[in-house]
Chains A and B, each alone.
Chain A
Amino acid sequence: AQSVSQHNHHVILSEAASLELGCNYSYGGTVNLFWYVQYPGQHLQLLLKYFSGDPLVKGIKGFEAEFIKSKFSFNLRKPSVQWSDTAEYFCAVNPLGGGYNKLIFGAGTRLAVHP
C-alpha cells in the first residue's frame, strides 16, 4: 500500500537554527509532492509543491524542499527558523495515473521554535 513516512514527530529548535524534516514515500510511479503547514488553530496551507523539473523547489517563508527520486524522499529545509514557524508540517504525496488526485498524508511533524 502507498504510504508516507515522516521520521520526526516532534522537533524542538531555537530561533536561527537550521531545520530539516524528513519525508519518504512508498510508490514506484510518478508522483506530485507537497508540504502543507498547519499553524496552531488554523487549517492546512500549502507551503510548497513539486510537480516536475528542478528537484529543488522553493516555497513561501524561506522554505525549500528537495526531491530525490532514487531515495523516494522529499525533505523540507529552512536555513534559519523563526518563532513564527512553530506549527505542524505535513508531507503529502499524490500518486499520478489513477485519474484522480488522491493525496496521501504523512503523520505530521510538530515543530516548536523557542525564542
Chain B
Amino acid sequence: EAQVTQNPRYLITVTGKKLTVTCSQNMNHEYMSWYRQDPGLGLRQIYYSMNVEVTDKGDVPEGYKVSRKEKRNFPLILESPSPNQTSLYFCASSSGRTDSSGANVLTFGAGSRLTVL
C-alpha cells in the first residue's frame, strides 16, 4: 500500500532533549515536506526536499533540522525542543512534478503529536 509513515505518533518530551521524528515513503517520490499544524494557523511548511541531498527552508524553519540521505526517508530533527514547538506535525510526499497531470498531489502521513514540557 502506498503510504507515508511517521514515527512516533505521540511523544511527550522535555525542553532541550533532542528528538527525531522519522518519515518514510514507499512511492519513490522525489519531493518530501514537513508541516506543523496549529489551531487557527492551518498547516505551515517547516522544510522541504526536492530530492536526495537537496533540502530548503519553508516558512517556519527555526528550531528544526532535516536531512535527506535516502530518497525514501526525511527525518525531522529538533536539536533543543522548546514548548513553542508543541504541535501536530505532518510529513508529506509527492512525485514533485508541477505539470497539469496531477502529479504534484501531496500524500500525507498520519501525523505526530509532539508535546514539549
Residues of chain A having any CB pair with chain B under 8 Å: 4, 6, 9, 32, 34, 36, 42-46, 49, 51-52, 90, 94, 96, 98-108
Contacts and interface: CB of A to CB of B under 8 A. Distances in A.
Interface residues of B, number: 28
A94 B104 contact: yes
B22 to A, nearest CB: 16
Interface of B: 31, 33, 35, 40-45, 48, 50, 58, 90, 92, 94, 96-98, 100-102, 104-106, 108-111
Contacts of A105: 35, 42-44
26 contacts: A4-B42, A6-B42, A32-B100, A32-B104, A36-B108, A42-B110, A43-B108, A43-B109, A43-B110, A43-B111, A44-B108, A46-B105, A49-B102, A96-B98, A98-B98, A99-B98, A100-B31, A100-B48, A100-B96, A101-B31, A102-B45, A103-B106, A105-B44, A107-B40, A108-B40, A108-B42
Contacts of A102: 45, 48, 58
The 3 closest A-B pairs by CB, nearest first: A101-B104, A107-B42, A105-B43
Nearest to A95: B98
Given A43-B109, A51-B102, A94-B104, A106 B42 contact: yes
A36 to B, nearest CB: 8
Contacts of B106: 44, 46, 101, 103
Given A46-B105, A51-B102, 13 more contacts: A34-B105, A42-B110, A44-B43, A46-B106, A52-B100, A99-B98, A100-B48, A101-B94, A101-B97, A101-B98, A101-B104, A104-B45, A108-B42
B77 to A, nearest CB: 21
B15 to A, nearest CB: 27
B104 A44 contact: no
Nearest to A4: B42
Contacts of B42: 4, 6, 90, 105-108
